[in-house]
Structure 1
């Protein structure tokens, strides 16, 4: 097992990564809790809910709430239902919420914990590769029909307990989704990490040791940034590389049509293309594109209305005064947030969507 500490201005918490540690979950908690509510989704519940319940003693009140799988659960209605569950089960400020699942469950349960009785403790128990990113850093949110994560907060967990054994049951699509964030951590940190990840080619056949190594590297990259900038006022915005266009894709296609990570992977290619136009540099776009094709990322998006996509991008949280701000890349590991003209983005997007399929 590996452990590391995340130290931010508002909280210090441990991240534990290993195999089978979900069975010993109670031993990783920072204090004793009498009342515990586990929030999970309909897919994860069948696989791991009973394991987590069994980790607690008979003297503890342990409840569970199961939400539908998928991005659609990050809604005001599901959020409100979970708050009602908290009230019905008489959770108080000394209670604990456990987010057992992927990024959707983590964001949703974390936002419930942040707002119920003005805040109760919660821990993240991620079960996807994607959640190696979303479970660390304390960003919690639900979606609005007009944009992703527009209703949310910064609210760090009390611990992250990451049992990599749960990753062995992931579908190929979920592996693709998660590895987009692994690749992102390489691109925003250093070329050696990026090259190391994509050198392996087929992500669906990685050994547990390689997977653990990639996840640990990614978490360390994120931890270093979050510790310097917890509330996303500076360099934490670099973690959104690829997300401005990616979030617009998710919203325009309809949440769930493609996964978050698949959309971010396309968004990273787009951000690199915009960067090349603005800076006149040469980035590893073809290398990333080839890796994405080999691993089955969706590419045929030619039917999208690019004008609507640009409008969606204006809803991004980095936007200022209806002006789009994008995380752009001068070179691998060197980024900046920069305002980009709508017309330029529209021209690039029209060509880009065609190139996705053609290259």
Structure 2
């Protein structure tokens, strides 16, 4: 059997079988969860009971299951350290949840605290247990999000319009792979897409539940003023989860117009099958391959190196596209909708954007927008947090 890592050891218990992190949520139990499942079987047939659990678990993508598994592991380790009986681990008293978060105050990032609380909440929901995450937990978690300087992640370098123009010039768009990469670049930037919403992690990880197909419907429309736009439905987003979202793709008065780039990608890859990922390309042997996150970033960074620009990461397009739209005078509410953010997430994202604004201020026109943007953001913040 695989040995546990030194920092992953918990007290041996039949409630916590030795399984991979992504299975902690579904396999780790307490006396309460066992009673709940017995109750479920007294009301539902085994097939219906299993189907209910599977539907709940389907709301989590694999990476989220791993993150939630890690949160549950840390909570279990904390309970072990205090000799908390299994009966109190679920439903966990508010005092225990708050104490667990307080234990890590100032040691982990705010996003880690959020993930751990979300994992515990989902674990309780899955097992029919009431969630006691009230005012005490909320207050402690707010204090705990003050991330110490040595734990703060390095700011992601933004993609700027200069990057897009360099990529357009540096890519041979008669090549199917380059055409697909360029279309994805333009869409990720102008539509404020998180990269994992539009490309797959690796060649074998295409999942029809999360990734748009090649035959996804593109609805082309024209506004009264003549401007063209289209929408592409993606099946999963960070904020809406399995509800998906319609990505609005606008015709931009710039050589990097995403509508033109996407149409060229589809034309250059006409023989890719309809059940392939939306961003897939034809290969020289007559087959096809999906565009992966790694291939996408590698190609972008190959071109940026020759253009003496900074390297880009998967978050760079979101930050760059958001800031570019703001500096064009796009209303904050519209940018938030285009980026498919919830209000709190957009406020946190703005903290990143403030750090990169100087990189975008390359003209007096841009300079004149900065104070206006900050004023609008303060107003937006008050509306979202009355």
When normalised by structure 2's length, the TM-score is 0.26
More strand by share: 1
Larger radius of gyration: 2
